[in-house]
Amino acid sequence: METFRFEAWWLMEEIFETELEYLKSELEKWATRIGLSRNRKKEYLNSKLVVLMEAERTDNNLAELIDTKI
């Protein structure tokens, strides 16, 4: 993958600001999706931990508890 490099001549293009606004909005959408996904995963794992912590300590439960904590 090539390293991103800003080109000064881009500033002279008429649509530069429009393109920049588009990129900004798409990055914001992406960041929102990633954040929501992480929050859902965190909630799921926390609820799973609660169930496992309350469950009887068997070898299978302990192994699953360790995997979930990781």
Q: Where are the domains positioned within the chain? A: 33-70
Kindly tell me if the per-residue pLDDT of 67 is higher than 90.
Answer: no
Dist CA 22 CA 6 (whole Å): 17
47: helix, strand or coil: helix
Dist CA 44 CA 68 (whole Å): 10
Mean pLDDT of the chain: 91
Does the pTM surpass 0.95? The reply is no
Per-residue model confidence as pLDDT tens digits over 41-59: 999 989 988 888 888 888 8
Residue 5: which pLDDT band, with cuts at 50, 70 and 90?
very high
In the predicted model, what is the mean pLDDT of residues 33-40? 98
Are 29 and 13 in contact by the 8 Å Cβ rule? The answer is no
